[in-house]
């Protein structure tokens, strides 16, 4: 297969490309990425010189650049991980970049899919578009759960998802939208919760915990997200929506405690900080639909500890990657206020 992957220099995109190149020796990947602060050339180092791989720098909101990339690479499928992804930046920074990447970007990709008759476009999205669940309810997010985004990031992702839906409904453009829960694994930018905790713990720095720390997220390893997208490339039905999660709800406090134990650090490093405004209490995904198609996560709930331990070991062993990011302190979540 010839794939055009957008946003492949980020966390999940780079894990996806590595997974695909290792598993499918006759598949080619063109990575179209703007290389924002979150796009990291070190994420691409081990496959950067592979003859089956090519990087093209460009913005998914730029129709001419996307058209050129599609025309030249003639992909059998386009998969987009490209987005502005940090919730705190969408709250405290300008929303312009989020609207451009997360709303206009998917529209441009739909347009190129339609114009060049790309057989399949997979728009990678988030469960945050469904809003928040209460801690005391049994309900999970289903594919039919109505959108109710609370965070500006989530609202922009929901906008992009709806644009994709409209292209399928109106033009029969072959697009699939996925809603995945929170990812963890190697190569994640350390402004995000798990790598930030690991970075700070390794340096014996205070670990910020928002509010009471009882926010619940449904954690999935990035490799499991990659294998779910791989399955959809082969068996996904255009116009359908798929939820992806590993049935692994954990509170932030539980995850931080597990990480501190793995790193041999004291809980005294935990520091409660001013809460995120409008913080969504709980996300939880029902993945029955994709599981019925044969997708099995390698790290379901009972293997979370193993997945997390492997992740910790990766950050401990990959000192070049970690040190390169440590020097970019200004990019590391400047919005957290201690209090
Ligand atoms: N991280 C998670 O837990 C999670 C969970 C569910 C869904 N998602 C979705 O998965 C996708 C990837 O998330 P991630 O955590 O790997 O993100 P990331 O921030 O690590 O990487 C984003 C990548 O997109 C690129 N990019 C940003 N704007 C671009 C643009 N306009 N044009 C081209 N490239 C652009 C960046 O350079 C970077 O390489 C996103 O769409 C996100 O919404 C993430």
Q: Which domain holds residue 228?
A: 2-250+277-331
In CATH, what number is assigned to the domain containing residue 205?
3.40.50.720
Residue 267 domain-assigned (yes or no) = no
Residues recognised as catalytic: 127-128, 153
Residue 99 domain-assigned (yes or no) = yes
Residue 266 domain-assigned (yes or no) = no
The token duo for 181 is 């829960």
| CA 69 to ligand 1 centroid distance, Å | 19
The token duo for 89 is 């930046």
Number of domains composing the chain: 1
Probe target for ligand 1 pocket from 68, 85, 232, 250, with the most ligand atoms within 8 Å of CB: 85
Q: Show the beta-strand stretches assigned E in the chain.
A: 2-6, 28-33, 53-57, 77-80, 121-126, 175-180, 183-184, 207-210, 216-218, 220-221, 241-244, 249-251, 270-273
Q: Which residue has the tokens 């590595």?
A: 18
Residue 337 domain-assigned (yes or no) = no
Residue 268 domain-assigned (yes or no) = no
Probe target for ligand 1 pocket from 4, 5, 6, 7, with the most ligand atoms within 8 Å of CB: 7
How big is the chain, counted in residues? 339
Say if residues 281 and 132 touch (Cβ distance below 8 Å): yes
> What's the whole-number average pLDDT of the chain?
96
Residue 338 domain-assigned (yes or no) = no
| CA 183 to ligand 1 centroid distance, Å | 11
Q: Which residues form ligand 1's pocket by a CB distance below 6 Å?
A: 6-7, 9-13, 33-36, 38-39, 59-61, 81-85, 101, 105, 124, 126, 157, 180, 182-183, 189
Residue 264 domain-assigned (yes or no) = no
pLDDT tens-digit series, residues 4-21 = 999 999 999 999 999 999
Say if residues 250 and 304 touch (Cβ distance below 8 Å): yes
- Distance, in Å, from the CA atom of 212 to the CA atom of 207, rounded to the nearest integer, reads 13
- Residue 332's pLDDT is 72
Residue 336 domain-assigned (yes or no) = no
pLDDT tens-digit series, residues 246-273 = 999 999 999 999 999 999 999 999 999 9
- Residue 254's pLDDT is 98
Percent with pLDDT over 70 in the chain: 98
Work out the average pLDDT over 113-117.
Answer: 98
Question: Is 289 a residue whose pLDDT tops 70?
Answer: yes
Say if residues 3 and 30 touch (Cβ distance below 8 Å): yes
Question: Is 337 a residue whose pLDDT tops 90?
Answer: no
Q: Is 7 helix (H, G, I), strand (E, B) or coil?
A: coil
């Amino acid at each position: 297969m010839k794939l055009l992957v957008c946003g492949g220099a980020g966390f999940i995109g780079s894990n996806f490309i590595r997974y695909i190149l290792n598993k499918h020796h006759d598949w080619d990947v063109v990575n179209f990425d703007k290389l924002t602060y979150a796009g990291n050339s070190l994420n691409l180092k081990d496959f950067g010189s592979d003859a089956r791989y090519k990087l093209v720098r460009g913005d998914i909101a730029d129709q001419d650049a996307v058209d050129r990339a599609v025309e030249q690479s003639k992909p059998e499928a386009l998969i987009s991980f490209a987005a502005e992804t940090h919730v705190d930046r969408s709250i405290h920074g300008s929303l312009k970049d989020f609207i451009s990447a997360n709303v206009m970007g998917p529209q441009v990709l739909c347009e190129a899919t339609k114009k060049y008759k790309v057989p399949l476009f997979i728009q990678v999205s988030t469960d945050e578009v469904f809003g928040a669940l209460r801690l005391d309810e049994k309900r999970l997010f289903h594919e039919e759960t109505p959108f109710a985004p609370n965070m500006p990031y989530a609202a922009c992702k929901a906008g992009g998802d709806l644009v994709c839906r409209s292209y399928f409904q109106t033009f029969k453009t072959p697009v699939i939208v996925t809603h995945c829960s929170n990812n963890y694994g190697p190569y994640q930018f350390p402004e995000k919760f798990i790598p930030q905790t690991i970075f700070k713990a390794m340096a014996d720095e205070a670990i910020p915990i928002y509010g009471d720390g009882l926010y619940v997220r449904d954690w999935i390893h990035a490799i499991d997200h990659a294998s779910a997208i791989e399955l959809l490339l082969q068996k996904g039905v255009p116009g359908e929506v798929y939820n992806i999660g590993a049935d692994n709800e954990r509170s932030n406090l539980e995850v931080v405690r597990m990480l501190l134990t793995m790193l041999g650090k004291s809980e005294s490093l935990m520091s409660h900080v001013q809460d995120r405004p409008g913080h969504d209490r709980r996300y939880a995904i029902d993945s029955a639909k994709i599981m019925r198609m044969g997708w099995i996560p390698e790290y379901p709930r009972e293997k979370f500890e193993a997945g997390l331990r492997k992740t910790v070991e990766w950050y401990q062993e990959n000192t070049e990657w970690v040190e390169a990011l440590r020097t970019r302190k200004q990019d590391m979540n400047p919005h957290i206020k201690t209090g």
